[in-house]
Amino acid sequence: MKTIIFTFFLVWIALAGQAKDYRIHSAKELEALVLSPGDRVLMEPGEWKDQKIVFKGNGTKARPIVLLAANPGKTVLSGNSSLVIDGAWLLVDGLSFEYGFLTGGEVVDFSEKSTYCRLTNTAIVDYNNPDEKVDYRWVSLRGSRNRVDHCFFKGKRHQGVTLIVWLSDTPNYHQIDHNYFGPRPELGRNGGETIRIGTSTWSFHDSFTVVEENIFEHCNGELEAVSNKSCKNIIRNNLFYECKATLTLRHGNHAEVYGNFFLGNGKPGTGGVRIIGEDHFVHDNYFQDLTGTSVSAAISVMAGLPNPILTSHWQVKNAVITDNLIVNCKEPFAIAAGYNPGRYLPALNTVFAKNIIVANESPLKWYDERVVIDFKDNQIFSKSYSGTPEKGFVLKNEVVKRMENGLYLKPGQPAFKPFWESTKIGPDWAKLNTSFPVL
């Protein structure tokens, strides 16, 4: 008898812990569910109009709770639909937001309590209020250790950041990777960033957010495509393709920017990296055929404001700019960009070292010639250079090698495939074109 009872108890334990699948047709049906680790909620294909989806639960690392489109890309959230992700180890997969808009808030909102949650394989396309001055975000990342990956965002025309990381008293360690940020037209004012990590008022808080292997195509909402406004973030191995907007270290300190590609193809106003603040490390990036100048130069070191407040342009200190390859850019290095009688503090203890520039004239544009910069072991490759290189630059009467895909190689660098030619970017179901010709 005891053996039978014990066996029954083991079976009951096994059944109690067994994950379940639920198929739903509305946000109301999701709200009625009590979800356990390992459960999956499948959203039926079709148009889900005006659905306020709240996805709550607490999964585990081994057994996350999943909300997914039964047929990826075929569950279309329209009208004023939105999604809140609120819990731990929650995974959202395969949704599409189209044919709608909001009047405020967020299309997708990771709550302040969210942790180890993930949005993947999802698209938000042309989700625009008819009034372009209406401010709302497409994705807000709160909480901690959340991830947005393999998503597609395209066509945001109204006020507000496409994807924003909000800060708190503790670092959040978010990850933003393998997303395709498609065209965002010029907004004509501030508030058109594609990604912003933090806010000015929280900019001296650590975030430790990583932004990597994303594509930014024609992201021109405002001057800043990626706006760093917090400390200790890493922005690496991304492609900025024909973007007027720059990767801007706007507020906060200790950012590392490396392995990124900036391809301008000679398009008007295309820019690179803009540096403001302290202890930034900008290295091993690739810049080609950019036409931007001053604050939109390939690498721009800004002048600072005296007695700055949190929203000001802070003085550049201890920046290290090294091992970057800059090819055929109109203004490779802009020194003291944005200088005026009220914004005049020079960069301090800033080093440009071992950069390689392909150009036929000086790579330096001085907006304040009183600034003292330490230039070391930089090389200029040119067959027809005019003038004498400045101190810290050596002229090489040579050409750098070019690969079949149009990208150039540093001397001694083996041929390689950039990440967008070898790595899946965006949702599987969207079948996006990730061919980016270098003209």
Rounded to the nearest integer, the mean pLDDT of the chain is 95
- Give the integer Cα–Cα distance in Å for 294 and 246: 12
Three-state DSSP class for residue 295: helix
Backbone angles phi, psi at 117, to 5 degrees: -100, 160
* Secondary structure element (H or E) that encloses residue 420, with its range: helix 419-422
pLDDT (average), residues 60-77: 98
- Strands 65-69 and 234-236 turn out to be unpaired
What length is written for the chain?
A: 439
Range of lowest pLDDT (6-10, 159-163, 235-239, 354-358): 6-10
Helices (H), 219-331: none
Over 80: is that where the pLDDT of 222 sits?
yes
User: 19-47, pLDDT tens digit by residue?
Assistant: 999 999 999 999 999 999 999 999 999 99
C-alpha dihedral sign at 83, 231, 199, 346: negative
pLDDT of residue 9: 40
Q: Which pLDDT belongs to residue 352?
A: 98
Examine the pLDDT at 105 and tell me if it is beyond 60: yes
CA count, 13 A, side-chain hemisphere, 221: 31
pLDDT band for position 290 (50/70/90)?
Answer: very high
**Domain positions in the chain:** 45-288+296-315+333-348+402-430
Token output for 372: 């003292």
390 compared with 9, residue with greater pLDDT: 390
Contacts of residue 25, Cβ cutoff 8 Å, sequence gap at least 6: 44
Cα–Cα distance for residue pair 191/197, rounded to 1 Å: 13
Kind of pairing between the strands at 147-149 and 281-283: unpaired
Confidence (pLDDT) at 17: 65
Q: Which two tokens stand for residue 417?
A: 């495939």
Q: What is the pLDDT of residue 123?
A: 98
Residue 13 pLDDT level (bands cut at 50, 70, 90): very low
Residue found by looking up tokens 């101190």 in the block: 391
3-state secondary structure (DSSP) of residue 223: coil
Q: What is the CATH number of domain 45-288+296-315+333-348+402-430?
A: 2.160.20.10
Residues 109 and 111: their CA atoms lie apart, in Å, by 6
Give, in order, the Cα–Cα distances in Å from 257 to each of 230, 275, 285.
14, 10, 8
Write the CB contacts of 253 (distance below 8 Å, at least 6 apart in sequence): 204, 231, 232, 277, 278, 279, 280
**Percent of the chain scored above 90 by pLDDT?**
95
